[in-house]
Chain A
Amino acid sequence: MYKPNDLILRTTTSIIVFILLGFSIYLLLAGHNSPGGGFIGGLMTASAILLLYISYGSKAIEKILPINYRLLIPIGLLIALGTGIGSFFFNVPFLSQTFTYVQIPFFGKMELATAMLFDVGVYVTVLGVTLTIILSISRDQKS
């Protein structure tokens, strides 16, 4: 029986995926000051996970990453909505964002912004939606 031997693909994938994941996290976090942001970060993460699916097959990946991507959609949405609702506690209009600078050992001056939390929500949602769509279509193809 023919069995594909994709050793090179799998080996390179295991390296590339980490680069991709790192880059996507970078895009998410750097979004406030450089090009990037939650949307493109989410897309990049999704493509990294898809690459894993392509090279190792869905059975193996479902064992390593037992994540229900559909659940990520409402979670992300709730995070984004939460940052909006949070502004009510400070008696400011819906979705008012704020930011501050803190001094952290080793890293020096850091900026913390609530807009980043919002971006995280977008990130999670985009990740969930992209993977839900592609995985449900590709699984449908198989059955």
Chain B
Amino acid sequence: MLTMHAAIIIPFIVAAFIPFLAKRLKTLHIGWFVLLVPFGLFILLASYIPEIADGEIFLQTIHWIPSYDINFTTYMDGLSMILGLLITGVGALVVLYSIYYLSPEESLKHFYVFLLLFMGAMLGLVLSDNILVLYVFWELTSISSFLLIAFWYHRKRSREGAEKSLLITVSGGFAMLVGFIMLYVMTGTFSVREIIREVSQYTDHTLFLPAMVLILIGAFTKSAQFPFHIWLPDAMEAPTPVSAYLHSATMVKAGIYLVARFTPVFGGEALWFWLVGGVGCLTLFWGSFNAVKQTDLKALLAYSTVSQLGMIMTMFGIGSAALYYGYTTESVIYTQAIFAALFHLVNHSTFKGALFMVIGIVDHEVGTRDIRKLGGLVTLMPITFTISLIGSFSMAGLPPFNGFLSKEMFFTSVLTMSEMNIFSMETWGVLFPVIAWVASVFTFIYSMIIVFKAFFGPYQLGKLERPGHEPPIGMLIAPAVLGLIVVGLFFFPNMLGNNLLKPAVAGIFPTFPEDELGMKITPWHGFNTELFMTIGVVSAGLLLYLTLRYWKGIYRLFPEKWTFNVLFRYVLDQLEIKSRVVTDSYMTGFLRDYFVYIFLFFSILIGGALIYTGAFDFEVSGNAPISVYEWILAVVMMVAGISILFAKSRLTAILLNGVLGYSIAVFFVLFRAPDLALTQVGIETVTTVLFLVSYYFLPEWQKENTPKRTKGLNILISLSVGAVFIIVALAAQSGKLFETISGYYENSYQLAGGKNIVNTILGDFRAFDTMLEVVVLLIAGIGVYSFVKSKSKKGGHNLED
């Protein structure tokens, strides 16, 4: 039974066929076919709910690279199930919505191919057990999200948003990969389940904390946590269905999923608690604070998503404390934070998806989503208004919507957290409820902005492109379904809680008895601190909303250039400018400079190695005596060599070069090498003739007009190269390690039937070298011939171009 694999692969297969389908079917919107995929997968996954609720898990393996322990293993428990249902369920609704949202003139096949790629990648991510396979799907979601954000690629802002999100999420992905590899180094397995089982032995390992931090960086970048949240508002340039699907319901939950998956691995560590809880809390506040000042509704929703993700993250941080205590009756209370987090994860996907869709409808119908232009749409778009009311009030945490339940549970968690006495929470713990409460007030304010600024107030027809009216009914189905779920979850929260959330929490706390986990969600829980906090949020929020225009000035206290966006842009620009400067400084385009690098490198490396290793050893005792002829020849060659440097004409230089060559031939004679001497004389003659031939064509010999300093440097470098060569030669000849092997060749007459050792070596013992040297000659000959022959005729076009 490989249903899970099928669920992952089907979107990819369908994506491959979409272009063909789109070509065949001109009349029908291609989205209707695509709709079948998430809908069918949703039914398929939902059919496993009863088994999952009973605590069963499904594990399937397909071998991929068994020799490296990389296998395509899927693992479905409550957590994967929740995410899987969200991906396919919201996916189906988004596809339905996009059918009406995107006009057939758009390049729909690209849109649906990208969307299906994303869906398959996301399913693969949540269902994978092997962390490397998980990483593969992780990057696939980044890439498909990049493609979707830049769907309208002719817009500059789309491209910039796509680039930014790719840079940030992929950098995080790389960090995560490194963390995964560290985990493998520690535990020796890529399987998440096995890592969870093994990891308790490695908590003191030096790689344990780095792996944790790196994996968290991956999760934070993907889930838009502070300060990596900056890509999410810019990703709002994508079509609205994409924003609703990727940037509120699914992809940004990937980081949350990762944190949840790895809580059993790293949870219980103080650093994990502080990073997840602290960063989450900071993000919660920062996102809600910034959402209030936005004028674009989608940007507002983006910051609100950031804030809500921070809230979920905070609860995961709190819940991880349960693993520090281990199982006791008291510590079970912390697991409820994770339960609340998962509950809010589902809630957020429903109401945020619905909100994005209604904003999309407003944008689609009146042509703007700027709240300064919107207003008075309540009578024109009553259904849209109702859905956005449900979504916003749920987001603000008001009854009778599911956001109320999760917000109450969130308050319970932060209150429990403030009473903790570990991880130095005695001093800092009180901060968490305060920040959470303040952030909730801001959340309330921006939720009200969505409802009241967009739908009430004066109707400004002059500023709108089109007069507002209700969209086609098909466009309303998807947000209406989500709105119904939002209300339904308030009245029947335990259906979700018992069937899905409980097994998911059980999976995160494998050491806890399952009956103790989970909790009964009740809409009414008596007059307790949480309820008073909510009442406080509502009253403070109302007060602040009504006085918004008096205190809005505080947003101008921070200058615009102090944002993380500006910092990000600045860092990117500076990287480009500085690397340009560095490259330009050494890639001068002058061959002379490159020779300087090569020779400098040579003398520093070889000379440095000689000095560093102390290999230089000067030994002359075994050397042969130097005869008079050799002295004379050496002096002649020195004179000729030095004279070349001072030659005034090219002809002199060529002739002096010939002197050097013939002297070498004489040296060969002196050193008893007749074959070499013969060849040297022949070749020297030929080269001198060729020099003279080309001399005819060359321009006048000009002294290079180089500055004195460069000249001095040249002299220094050439002297050092010469010195290094001499030292190496002397060192090599004095350190004889073993006897010569030339004794073997002295038997050439017996072995090869020739008395000329040189010739038998060239033609017989090592004929392969000779053959290839003949090939070199062939290449040289062909080269010269084709250079001479294939040049362009006068007036003809230039072949060199």
Contact = CB atoms under 8 A, between A and B. Distances in A.
Report whether over half of chain B's contact residues are helix, strand or loop; otherwise say mixed.
helix
Contacts of A40: 675, 678-679, 682
Interface stretch (B222-230, B342-350, B395-403, B754-762): B754-762
A109 B777 CA distance: 36
A111 B674 CA distance: 23
Interface string A69-85: 01001101100110010
A87 B696 CA distance: 48
B759 A125 contact: no
Given A37-B762, A111-B753, A115-B760, A97 B767 contact: yes
Contact of A37 (B755, B759, B778): B759
Interface in B259-293: none
A115 B764 CA distance: 6
A45 to B, nearest CB: 11
A116 B759 CA distance: 10
A126 interface: yes
Contact of B767 (A73, A95, A126, A133): A95
Q: Give the interface residue-count category, chain A.
A: 35 or more
Contact of B771 (A43, A95, A140): A95
Interface stretch (B22-30, B412-420, B642-650, B784-792): B784-792
A128 B785 CA distance: 12
B781 A70 contact: yes
Interface in A5-61: 27, 31-40, 43-44, 47
Contacts of A47: 682, 685
Report whether over half of chain A's contact residues are helix, strand or loop; otherwise say mixed.
helix
A36 B778 contact: no
B36 interface: no
B752 A136 contact: no
Nearest to A119: B763
B788 A43 contact: no
A36 B756 contact: yes
Which among B753, B758, B782, B784 has the greatest number of chain A C-beta atoms within 10 A? Answer: B753
B682 A44 contact: yes
A33 B754 contact: yes
Contacts of A119: 759, 763
A37 B690 contact: no
A47 to B, nearest CB: 7
Nearest to B679: A40
Interface string A95-136: 101011000000000010101101101100110111011101
A136 B783 CA distance: 11
B379 interface: no
Given A37-B759, A122-B774, A73 B782 contact: yes
Contact of A97 (B696, B763, B777): B763
Contact of B755 (A32, A38, A132): A32
A115 B781 contact: no
A70 B764 CA distance: 27
B571 interface: no
A91 interface: no
A84 B675 contact: no
Nearest to B766: A95
Contacts of B774: 76-77, 80, 121-122, 125-126
Interface string B668-685: 000000110011001101
Given A77-B775, A97-B767, A43 B759 contact: no
Contact of B778 (A27, A116, A125): A125
B771 A84 contact: yes
B780 interface: yes
B784 A132 contact: yes
B767 to A, nearest CB: 5
A65 interface: no
B768 interface: yes
Interface residues of B, number: 39
B753 A136 contact: no
Contacts of B754: 32-33, 99, 113, 115
A129 B781 contact: yes
A27 B685 CA distance: 18
A123 to B, nearest CB: 10
Contact of A73 (B679, B771, B778): B778
Nearest to B678: A40
A43 B678 CA distance: 10
B603 to A, nearest CB: 35
Contact of B752 (A35, A37, A43, A113): A113
A129 to B, nearest CB: 4
Contacts of A37: 675, 756, 758-759, 762-763
A1 interface: no
B65 interface: no
Which among B686, B771, B775, B780 has the greatest number of chain A C-beta atoms within 10 A? Answer: B771
Contacts of B690: 133-134, 137
A74 B678 CA distance: 25
Contact of B780 (A81, A95, A133, A138): A133
A139 B777 CA distance: 20
A137 B756 contact: no
B752 A134 contact: no
Nearest to B694: A137
B682 A118 contact: no
A113 B774 CA distance: 20
A33 B755 contact: yes
Contacts of A141: 693, 696
Given A43-B686, A119-B763, A133 B756 contact: no
A23 to B, nearest CB: 11
A27 to B, nearest CB: 8
Contacts of A134: 686, 689-690, 693
A74 B775 CA distance: 9
B753 A35 contact: no
A109 to B, nearest CB: 12
B171 to A, nearest CB: 53
Contacts of A34: 755-756
Contact of B781 (A33, A73, A97): A73
Given A40-B675, A136-B788, A129 B767 contact: no
B714 interface: no
Nearest to B772: A80
B784 A137 contact: yes
B770 interface: yes
A94 interface: yes
A74 B780 CA distance: 13
A95 B752 CA distance: 13
A79 to B, nearest CB: 10
A31 B777 contact: no
A119 B591 CA distance: 40
A35 B756 contact: yes
Interface in B730-759: 752-756, 758-759
Contacts of B689: 134
Nearest to A81: B771
Contacts of B767: 84, 95, 97, 115, 118
A43 B679 CA distance: 8
B753 A32 contact: yes
A136 B780 CA distance: 13
Nearest to A116: B763
17 contacts: A34-B755, A36-B759, A37-B758, A37-B759, A40-B682, A70-B781, A74-B778, A77-B774, A84-B768, A94-B768, A97-B763, A99-B752, A116-B763, A118-B767, A129-B781, A132-B781, A137-B693
Interface of B: 674-675, 678-679, 682-683, 685-686, 689-690, 693-694, 696, 752-756, 758-760, 762-764, 767-768, 770-771, 774-775, 777-778, 780-782, 784-785, 788-789
Q: Sorted from nearest, which 9 A-B pairs have the closest CB atoms?
A: A99-B753, A35-B674, A129-B781, A32-B754, A43-B682, A115-B763, A33-B755, A97-B764, A129-B777
Given A80-B770, A133-B781, 6 more contacts: A37-B762, A47-B682, A95-B768, A97-B764, A136-B789, A140-B788
